[in-house]
Amino acid sequence: MFIKNFKTAVGVLLMCVGSTVYAQKFKVVLDPGHGAHDFGAVRGNYAEKKIVLDVALKVGELLKKDKNIDLVYTRKTDVFLELRERTEIANREKADIFVSIHANAVANAPSATGTETYVMGMSKNASNLEVAKKENAVITLEENYETHYAGYDPSRPESLIGLTLMQEQFITQSIELASKVQTRFTNDANRKNRGVKQAPYLVLHGAFMPSILIEMGFLSNSEEGAYLNSEEGKNEMARSIANAIIDYKKQHHSASENIPAKEEKQVPKEEPKKVEKPVEPAKTSSIDASKPAVVTKEGVLFRVQVVASSKNVELNAANFKGLDNITMLKEGTMYKYFYNETTDYNHARKALEVAKNKGYTSAFLVAYKNGKKISIQEAIK
């Protein structure tokens, strides 16, 4: 019953999201976990709900410096939100990414330390499942949770089957965002990197965009708990998360300026050199994005990634909502499917619009140079 209702909701929401066109601004939804009577992890005077709220607000203040970012919080005060309401906010706002911020704790391993970032997915790793089960158990604090999450029992891993269906099309971008967060934690805040992991989080499964859940460290570790509860620690973690989001935005949307790892070390900057703006898409319909463009430059190639999947699908238009000119690239266990190939940026943007209008609302541009993937900004330059 749970999976059936879930699939029905998926269809309705995809229709709503499918009506959107590539947004001019990059919209970020920040989700501080827990709140009010849901304290999250608690060790001594350290409460997860307060630490993650403080960090989320600091991340938001840093991101507000970029005029091309729209910012939405699931909560800005100490209030309780149901898990499903958090992703409903992100879907309603048609967010580009959803970032849920948490802190970890374990009972029998006080020496455990380090950051880890999760994306939606099934996991055979017992420790990953335990973290997910602990975070998912918050539904028992919700009124009528038996009705809202019919058939789901947070204590039974087998009831998690089917929750990964929605996020599969966003998994590649989610992993990219999670990787950037972990890299920034290491480089900007010098934290131990426990890696990017997959686990079946209820708070992620209903999000119709790339989504991650960050565990900033262990409150059960006295040293790390004190760090996360300190202003210095909160500032460093917030700056790392903000820079990771900016890194992701540069790759998938538009350029931004990174925030210095240590604000107190900022020095006066030279007058920035004038940079030519990316060529805007043609305003006429003279470009036919349904056909490949003539190659005019050597080495640089734009593609529209429409979906990534664990399944090898036959490359015909019937399997891709009527789109032809589909190519596939296998990376690890994932198959990435691309619509159109062109060296013309105008043509690529037109092709992206065609893909989104066909229902691939999470489609995005990728660029390759001599067979190696590069950022869109580097390709444009």
| Together in a domain, 314 and 230 | no
Residue 259 lies in a domain: no
**Which range scores top for mean pLDDT: 17-26, 166-175, 302-311?**
302-311
- Return the axis-axis angle of helices 222-229 and 231-252, rounded to nearest 10°: 70
Alpha-carbon separation of residue 94 from 11, 42, 268, 309 (angstroms): 16, 33, 37, 22
| Together in a domain, 244 and 326 | no
**Better-predicted residue by pLDDT, 17 or 321:** 321
Residue 228 lies in a domain: yes
Residue 170 lies in a domain: yes
| Together in a domain, 245 and 168 | yes
Domain that holds residue 58: 26-253
pLDDT in tens, 116-163: 999 887 554 455 445 545 554 444 444 554 444 444 555 555 444 444
**What's the mean pLDDT in 215-241?**
96
Does position 235 have pLDDT exceeding 90, yes or no? yes
| Together in a domain, 244 and 320 | no
| Together in a domain, 71 and 190 | yes
| Together in a domain, 236 and 362 | no
Residue 69 lies in a domain: yes
Residue 118 lies in a domain: yes
| Together in a domain, 95 and 185 | yes
Phi, psi of 272, rounded to the nearest 5 degrees: -60, 140
| Together in a domain, 42 and 140 | yes
Amino acid identity, position 83: L
| Together in a domain, 228 and 328 | no
Alpha-carbon separation of residue 152 from 80, 116, 205 (angstroms): 21, 25, 13
pLDDT for residue 127: 52
Residue 98 lies in a domain: yes
| Together in a domain, 120 and 226 | yes
Provide the mean pLDDT of the chain: 77
pLDDT for residue 168: 62
CATH number of the CATH domain containing 316: 3.30.70
37 within 8 A of 80, measured Cβ to Cβ: yes
| Final residue belonging to a domain, choices 218, 253, 288 | 253
pLDDT in tens, 181-224: 999 999 999 999 999 888 777 777 778 889 999 999 999 999 99
| Together in a domain, 216 and 307 | no
pLDDT for residue 5: 52
- Helix, strand and coil percent figures for the chain, each rounded to 5: 40, 20, 40
| Together in a domain, 155 and 95 | yes
Q: How far apart are CA 105 and CA 40, in angstroms?
A: 9
pLDDT in tens, 315-363: 888 888 888 889 998 887 778 899 998 888 888 888 888 887 887 766 7
Q: How far apart are CA 364 and CA 176, in angstroms?
A: 13
Does position 24 have pLDDT exceeding 90, yes or no? no
* pTM for the full predicted model: 0.60
Residue 141 lies in a domain: yes
Phi, psi of 61, rounded to the nearest 5 degrees: -65, -35
CATH number of the CATH domain containing 206: 3.40.630.40
Q: How far apart are CA 339 and CA 341, in angstroms?
A: 7
pLDDT for residue 190: 94
Counted domains in the chain: 2
| Final residue belonging to a domain, choices 230, 253, 276 | 253
Helix (H, G, I), strand (E, B) or coil at 309: strand
Q: How far apart are CA 286 and CA 82, in angstroms?
A: 48
pLDDT for residue 297: 45
| Final residue belonging to a domain, choices 232, 253, 274 | 253
Residue from 126, 101, 133 nearest 116 by CA: 101
Alpha-carbon separation of residue 54 from 50, 170, 193 (angstroms): 6, 28, 22
Helix (H, G, I), strand (E, B) or coil at 225: helix
Residue 202 lies in a domain: yes
Confidence of residue 370 (pLDDT cuts 50, 70, 90): confident
pLDDT for residue 163: 47
